Structure 1
Amino acid sequence: MAKYILGIDQSTQGTKALLFDETGMAVCRVDKSHRQIVDERGWVEHDPVEIWNNLLLIVRELLTRARVNSQDIAAVGISNQRETAMAWNRDTGEPVYNAIVWQCARGAAICKRLDKAGFGDMVKNHTGLPLSPYFSAAKLAWIVENVHEAKALMDQDRLAVGTMDSWLVYKLTSGKHHKTDFSNASRTELFNINTLKWDEEICKSFGISLMSLPEVCDSNALYGVTDFDGLLDNPVPIHGVFGDSHAALYGQGCHMPGMIKATYGTGSSVMMNIGDKPISSKNGLVTSLAWSLDGRPEYVLEGNINYTGASITWLKDNVELIEGAGETSDIAQKANPADKTYFVPAFSGLGAPYWDSEATGMFTGITRITGKAELVRAVVDSIAYQISDIAMLMEDESGKTLKALRVDGGPTRNEYLMQLQADILDRPVEVPASEELSAMGAAYSAGISAGIYENKKVFAAVSRTKYVSGMSSEKRDELINGWRKAVKRALVSID
C-alpha cells in the first residue's frame, strides 16, 4: 500500500499543503491565502484562527483532490514563516492577540530601550542576532506590555507564546504539546545558540517568562500525533518542523559544511551550512541554528537582501518598462553588450556587506546607447551581484570553500539571470525541478524519521538544472569592479 508524506508550508501570504509519494515526488498541492491585516501605522498582523481553519480546509481539499485514503498518510512535516509570533491562553487555546508578522516593526521602541540599557552586545553574543524589532522577542514583549490579558495569564503561568510552528503543533495535538524546533527558536532572539537553551537573562530583559515558551526539540523529533481535527481516520505523527528558510536549506540537500543556498523572492535569503560550531560574523551576517537532527545541532550564516525580485516588480509597476517578470530574460539578452549601465537597488539603504541605511538607489554608467533593454538588464544584473557579494563574504568569513550555489524561488526560472549568477560567482548554480523547497524539506525530514524515505536515496533523486560559468576571468573582474564602483557612488551620493 502506498504511503504518503504531508508537507505543510505556513508562509507569510498563505498556507500550502503538499502530498509527497514514496519516491519523494510532490503529487498534489493546495494553497489558501489569508488576510494581511495592515493599519495606518504600517503594523502587520495575521489572524491565527483564520490560519488554523485554512489549514484544515486545504488538507481536506488535498485528500479529496489527490483521491488518497487518509490511512495512507504516514507522517506530517511543517515549515513556517519565521519570526512571526503570537500568544495564547494555554488552557483554552484562544489567542490573546493576532500574530505579529515578521515585517512589523512595532517593537522598535522596546529594542531602543534595551539597547540604551546596554543589552545590545549581550543579545548579539548570546543569540547570534542583532537587537532588532525584526525578530520575535520584541513582538512578544509588545504583546505582554500592551495586552492586559497576556500579562495576567503570564503571571499565572497560563500564557503560551511562540512562532507559528508552535501554534500549529499546539492546535494539531489538541493542546497536548507546546513545542518548537531549534531553527525557529534561534530566530526568536530569546534562544542562546551557545548553550542551546532559552536564555534566562535575555528573556527577563524582554519581560518573557520561561514558563510561557515552548519546549525546544530536534527538527526531526516526534512533536505529537494529529488527526487534523477528525479529518484523518487515524492519528499520524508530526515528525519534522523547520523555519521555512532552514527547511529549504535542508530540502536543497545542503547537509555538509560549506554548502550554500539562495532563495530568490521579493528579497533574498542566502544561507550557508557552517557545521557544528557557530561562527560570529564581523560584517553583519547573522548566525542561527540550521537545525538539530537526532541530537546533532548544526549552524548557519545568513545574509538577507531587501530588493531582488522586488526590483523587477518596481520595473513593472512603478516605471512600467516591462509588463511581467517573465519577459526580463529575453529583454536582457537583447541589450547592447557594450553598454556599461549598473543599477544599485538601494530603495531602503544597503545591507550586507555595505551596511549603509542612508544609501539611495541609482542607475550609473548611462550613455547614449542606453535604452530600455539596457536598463532592464542592469536591474536583473543587480540581483546576481548582490547574491554573489553575500556568498563570497560567507566563503571568506567561514573559511569554507564554496563549490556550488543551490537556488530556489520564482526568479530562478530566468535563464539569463541564472547564467549570469554562475558567471559572476564563478561557481556552478543548481536549480532544482521542484519550486516548493520549504515544504519538501520538512516533508523529507518527516518521511526519513517515519521510515518511508532513505536519506541518501530520496535526496539523490532530486533533479537539478546546472548553470556553469563560461565567462573569462578578465570579463568577470571588469563587471565586478564596475558593480563595486557603482555601489560606492550610491554610498557617496548621501554626502
Structure 2
Amino acid sequence: MPLGSSKYVAAFDLGTTSARVIIFDEYGSPQAACQRPLTQIFPKEGWVEQDPMEMFRQQLACFKGALSDLNILPSDISAIGITNQRETTVVWEKATGRPIYPAIVWQDHRTTEQCEALGAHSLMIRERTGLKLDPYFSATKIRWILDHVSGARAKAQAGELLFGTVDSWLIWNLTGGRRHMTDITNASRTLLANIRTGRWDEELLGMFGVPVSMLPEITPSCGALAESDPEVLGACIPISGTAGDQQSAAIGQACFRPGMTKNTYGTGGFLLMNTGKTAPLSDHLLSTVGWEVGGDRSYALEGSVFIAGAVVQWLKDGLGLFRTSAEIETLASQVQDNGEVYLVPAFVGLGAPYWDPFARGMIIGITRGTSRAHIARAALESIAFQCNEVLQVMAADTGAPVEELRVDGGAAENDLLMQFQADLANVPVVRPVVTETTALGAAYLAGLGIGLWEDFSEIESLWRRERIFEPKMSQDRREYLTKQWHRAVARTRGWEQ
C-alpha cells in the first residue's frame, strides 16, 4: 500500500487506437497504468469512425484498472489531466447524452469535396485558424453529420445538439453532463476558432453551417476547469488540466523554450516546434496553440504525418508479416539496408508538407531479391522519411535549424528507427526516460492546475534523458536516400480520382 502522503495525478489519455490511464506521483514518475484497445470502423474507402460510447466505457475501465494496480481509491487521486486524439468529431443530444452518429475520426477523408468547394476561402481560413482547409479538421465533419443524419440540422438549430472533440465528450460524461468545455489547444484544431483571439469565429461558423449553440466553452489548458461526478468515478476529483495529445506531449517533453522540437511516433507522426508568442503562417505546416497556462499563451508550428506507427500495424494485421509490432525491429535488422525498396504509406492521403488527400500508398523497387525484411525495413524508414520532410520545412520556415529532436510514443522505443531518424535528419535524437509523454504532459497540466507543481521550471527539472542517437550517416548517402524517397512520393501524388 503506498504512503498516504503521496500525491497522485491520473492522466486520461483517449487516443486513436487505445484508451489509457497512467497514474503519476509528485515526481512525474508513472506508478500504475491500464490500457484498452479502441475499435476503428472503416465503413467505406477513406472513412474512419469510432463508437463514442465504447471510448468512454474503455476510459472508465482503464481508470478502475489503474487504481486496482496501485491499490488505491478514487479519492486518493488529487487531480485528473485529460489528453486526446484531436479533430475527431462527436455530436450528441444535449438531453440524453446519446451520440447521433459515430465519432468521425481525424483520419477520415469523406469531406474532401466539401473542402475543395470552399477553396476560395482557404487563405482567410489559414490566417484566422493557422490551419489548412483540409478534411483532417473538425468543421467539415460537423457539417457532414448535420447534413446526413435525419433531422440533425433542425435539432442543432433548436439548441438540442452538442459538438465536441474527444476531450469535450469525455469531460461532459465525467461530469455527468454538467460541463461542456474544450481547452484552447483542442479548439485550435477545429477550423472554427481564431487562434489569436482564442474565441469561436462567427464568420467561420456561418461558412461551415455550425450553430454556435453546439459549441463548448473554450478554456485555458489548466486551472479549476471541472470536477468529476462522484456517481461516475466514485469521488469528486478536480479535472484541472487538458490539452490535445500533441501539445500535451510537447509539455511532457518540457519543450518550453522557442525552437525546442518534439516528435511523437504514434498512429501518426506529429512534430511540434515551440514558436513562443508568435503564430507564424506557413504554406506547408500548421500554426496551432501550444498551451495556455497562467494567462500566457504559447504557439507552435506543427507538421502532421498521417501514417507512422499505423504502417507497422498494417504490416502486422493486414499482411501478417509478424505477430506483434515489436517484432518489426528484429525482422528489419536482418538486412543491411532497404534493398532499394521504398514504401510510401499514403493510406489516407499525405499530410504535411504535401496535404494531398488524393495520394495513395505504394511500394516500389521490388525485385526477385526483395524479402519480408526489406518490406519491414522500408516501412520503418518511411516513418523517418516523412518526419524528416517536416523537419526540413520547419527549419526553412523559421530560419532556424532544429538543434535536437526529442522523441516519444510507442515507435520511439525502436532503436533502429531512432538511429535512422537521426541519420536522415542529421540531428541528435533524444529519447527520455518516460516515453509516454502525452499522458505525462496531461498530468503536468493537472498538477499545475492544483498547485502540485509551481511552474514550468519545476517541471523542466523533472525531465530525464534516457539515450541520445547521434547521426552517423555520410552526407552523400543521406542525399541519395532523400532523393529516392522524393521520387517515390511523386508517384503516389493525385492517384485517387
TM-score (norm 2): 0.88
Listed one character per residue, the Cα deviations across residues 445-485 of structure 1 (whole Å, up to 9, x for unaligned) are 1112212234434442333223242526xx13432233214
Q: Which runs of 5+ in 1 are unaligned?
A: none
Change in Cα spacing, 1:279 to 1:146, as seen in structure 2 (3 Å) is same
Aligned residues: 487
For the residue of structure 1 that corresponds to 2:441, the secondary structure is helix
1:18 aligns with 2:17: no
Equivalent residues in 2 for 1:25-40, closer than 5 Å: 25-40=29-44
The equivalent residue for 1:463 is 464
* Range with bigger deviation, 1-10 or 171-180: 171-180
The equivalent residue for 2:403 is 403
> 1:149 & 1:486 partners in 2: Cα distance?
48
> 2:409 & 2:272 partners in 1: Cα distance?
14
> Does the 8 Å contact 1:419/1:468 carry over to 2?
yes
> Does the 8 Å contact 2:91/2:161 carry over to 1?
yes
Q: Which runs of 5+ in 2 are unaligned?
A: none
> Does the 8 Å contact 2:175/2:228 carry over to 1?
yes
> Does the 8 Å contact 2:344/2:489 carry over to 1?
no
What percent identity do the matched residue pairs reach? 37
1:106 aligns with 2:107: no
1:9: Cα distance to partner? Answer: 0.7
Give 1:451's aligned amino acid. G
> Does the 8 Å contact 1:342/1:382 carry over to 2?
no
User: Is the radius of gyration larger for structure 1 or structure 2?
Assistant: 1
Equivalent residues in 2 for 1:50-65, closer than 5 Å: 50-65=54-69
> Does the 8 Å contact 1:16/1:31 carry over to 2?
yes
> 2:311 & 2:483 partners in 1: Cα distance?
19
> 1:267 & 1:19 partners in 2: Cα distance?
25
> Does the 8 Å contact 1:269/1:302 carry over to 2?
yes
1:207 aligns with 2:209: yes
Residue of 141, 144, 159 corresponding to 2:143: 141
> Does the 8 Å contact 2:174/2:233 carry over to 1?
no
Listed one character per residue, the Cα deviations across residues 357-381 of structure 1 (whole Å, up to 9, x for unaligned) are 55763444x8998766555444433
Residue of 2, 5, 8 corresponding to 1:4: 8
> 1:19 & 1:384 partners in 2: Cα distance?
31
The equivalent residue for 1:436 is 436
Residue of 177, 185, 188 corresponding to 1:175: 177
> Does the 8 Å contact 2:224/2:450 carry over to 1?
no
Residue of 47, 61, 74 corresponding to 2:78: 74
Give 2:241's aligned amino acid. G
Change in Cα spacing, 1:136 to 1:441, as seen in structure 2 (3 Å) is same
The equivalent residue for 1:157 is 159
The equivalent residue for 1:482 is 481
Listed one character per residue, the Cα deviations across residues 131-182 of structure 1 (whole Å, up to 9, x for unaligned) are 2222111111122223344323332233321211112222222322211011
> Does the 8 Å contact 1:405/1:430 carry over to 2?
yes
Give 1:47's aligned amino acid. D
> Does the 8 Å contact 2:258/2:274 carry over to 1?
yes
* Range with bigger deviation, 236-245 or 476-485: 476-485
1:279: Cα distance to partner? Answer: 0.9
Change in Cα spacing, 1:18 to 1:227, as seen in structure 2 (3 Å) is farther
Change in Cα spacing, 1:382 to 1:243, as seen in structure 2 (3 Å) is same
> Does the 8 Å contact 1:23/1:453 carry over to 2?
no
> 2:157 & 2:60 partners in 1: Cα distance?
33
> Does the 8 Å contact 1:182/1:291 carry over to 2?
yes
> Does the 8 Å contact 2:80/2:241 carry over to 1?
yes
Change in Cα spacing, 1:156 to 1:274, as seen in structure 2 (3 Å) is same
Change in Cα spacing, 1:359 to 1:148, as seen in structure 2 (3 Å) is closer
The equivalent residue for 2:219 is 217
